[in-house]
Homo-oligomer: A and B are copies of this chain.
Amino acid sequence: MFAALGDPTRLAIFDRLADGKPRSISTLSDDADMTRQAVTKHLRVLESAGLVQNHRVGRESQYAFCPDQLAQARAYLDQVAGRWESALMRLKTFVEDDDS
């Protein structure tokens, strides 16, 4: 998941789709300075990371933002931050105890 967002191109696409509007591959390719195939590959990566969803309509395949994994990433970061905070707390307590 972090790996999927780790590429600047993919992060840009992801960021762009965060407004909720689904977009076709060619639409997304238009203002990316690379081939449609390259964009397609990136979209597949984002999709298999669960960050984006695809469904085909007519002759074009629409990619849309998918919030589930995003929430999971936030939860993980929160958990890490929590561990760090409580470690700080223990350190503070230790220092205070030592001080008395």
- Which residues of B sit under 8 angstroms from A73, Cβ to Cβ? 77
Interface string of A1-39 (1 = CB under 8 A from B): 011111100010011001111000000000000000000
Q: Does A57 sit at the interface, judged by CB under 8 A?
A: no
Per the CB 8 Å criterion, the residue count for chain A at the interface is: 28
Q: Does A78 sit at the interface, judged by CB under 8 A?
A: yes
Cβ-closest chain B residue relative to A85 = B67
Q: Does A95 sit at the interface, judged by CB under 8 A?
A: no
A93 to chain B, nearest CB (A): 13
A81 and B91 form a contact (CB under 8 A)? no
Q: Within the complex, which residue of B19, B70, B91 is in contact with A20, where a contact is CB–CB below 8 Å?
A: B91
